[in-house]
Chain A
Amino acid sequence: MDLIIVNSAAEPIYEQIVRQIKAMILRVQLKGGDPLPSIRGLAKELQISVITTKRAYDELEKEGLIVSVGGKGSFVAEQNPELLREKKLKLIEDKLAEAVQDAKMLDLSLEELQLMLKLLYEEV
């Protein structure tokens, strides 16, 4: 499991952790039941405040992605396959929306964008 924290980024550190762990879960690099590093262990590894890592885990727990078992640590939540799929779809949707936004800035038409998507889809 790789986590890369950029201290100078505008994005708060806890959000960087949330985003990266979330991505790993959605890509199934982390599977249901996998243990996560302890809050303090992670803070030590990343040399950041314990409050920050705790907050990241709280956030992930709120989203139902991880569960904390008192005294044992935190684990990746067993995901409902449908739910997981939905979350992944949402992720793709977000990325596409971003692409659309950029396209509009360059005044690309829908057709041009679709063509680009088609080419990319066949290529990958």
Chain B
Amino acid sequence: MEPILEVKGLRKSFGDFTLKDISFSLPRGFIMGLIGPNGSGKSTTIKLIMNLLKKEAGEVRVCGLDTDRHVLAVKQKIGFVYDENHFYDELTALEMKRIVAPFYREWDEEAFNYYVDRFQLPVRKKIKALSKGNKMKFALTVALSHQAELIIMDEPTAGLDPVMRSELLEVLVELLQDERKGVLFSTHITTDLDKVADYITMINEGKVVFSVAKDTLQETCGLVKGGKSQLTPEIRDRLIGLREGSFGFEGLTTDRKQMEALLGERGVIERPTVEEIMVYLVRGYGNADISL
């Protein structure tokens, strides 16, 4: 089956920022986390996928359909949740639903009611009066109520408390019980991804740093720690984002096996979290050879 989302060679520039050669692919049935520091190009990538920005080069396919040629068909298949509320403050959630629903051919009122119940959304209140969390839940409810196959989320957990974030993740995992679906999830709160993400794509300074399965990432990368005397030039050269203190050093390796051989019994290599991988890669970006 074709991937649910395929991004090839995307390019876009504004002023001195250029997003280039963004390529990745998300197979059906999986969750992909899109990570990177602020201003790295995550939102731009998502806006290009959603046709909110015009790409200068490259192509995007959703369920095998080119997003430029099948604009409306593609949007039928996408459910979206953005970092900010874009619904009308002046309307109640129910009124807003009445505006949005007619545009979806496969609007599913039952699903809508199910999520409204489950999230205990006060749908008769004006959107202005909803809490930040409820606004996100409402957006999520709309995204899940029209048989969308691809759910695209741009920083959906920004500003949400941990309980609500975990509720969101639970819904996503449930959604993937249907293996035709897929989720693209941009976030800088990477702890959300440590658990549920299947693939991680990292963007930095407008370029893809890596796009791999999270398990592979956590196995090939390692957080190396050791005493100062163990930091031989060979090891030093191979560590990314090296940090030296008075008690020892810490750095990231993208080749755990090689590092184990170099280090012998003397040092420790930990399994890094997604966040650690991101932090070290960003810190060491530009002066390290990063290949995954």
Contacts and interface: CB of A to CB of B under 8 A. Distances in A.
Whether both chains belong to one complex is answered with: yes
Nearest to A38: B177
B289 interface: no
B101 to A, nearest CB: 28
A50 interface: yes
Nearest to A13: B215
A43 B195 CA distance: 10
A55 interface: yes
B195 A12 contact: no
B77 interface: no
B215 A51 contact: yes
A41 B213 CA distance: 19
A49 B174 CA distance: 12
A85 interface: no
A52 interface: yes
A51 B199 CA distance: 9
Contacts of A41: 177
A51 B173 CA distance: 12
A10 interface: yes
Interface in A1-38: 7, 10, 12-14
A49 B215 contact: yes
A87 interface: no
B25 interface: no
B225 to A, nearest CB: 13
Given A40-B176, A44-B173, A49 B218 contact: no
A12 B170 contact: no
Contact of A47 (B29, B170, B177, B270): B170
A41 B177 CA distance: 7
Contacts of B195: 7, 47-49
B179 interface: yes
A48 B177 contact: no
B179 A7 contact: no
B215 A43 contact: no
A47 B270 CA distance: 22
Given A7-B195, A10-B271, A12-B271, A51 B214 contact: yes
A10 B223 CA distance: 12
Contacts of B31: 49
Nearest to A45: B173
B270 A49 contact: no
A41 B198 CA distance: 15
Give the residue among A10, A12, A41, A44 with the most B Cβ atoms within 10 A.
A44
B214 A10 contact: no
Contacts of A40: 29, 176-177, 179
A53 to B, nearest CB: 10
Interface of A: 7, 10, 12-14, 40-41, 43-44, 47-52, 55
9 contacts: A7-B195, A43-B176, A47-B173, A48-B195, A49-B215, A50-B176, A51-B198, A51-B213, A51-B215
Given A44-B174, A47-B170, 17 more contacts: A12-B215, A40-B29, A40-B177, A41-B177, A43-B176, A44-B173, A44-B177, A47-B173, A47-B195, A47-B196, A48-B195, A49-B196, A49-B215, A50-B29, A50-B198, A51-B199, A51-B215
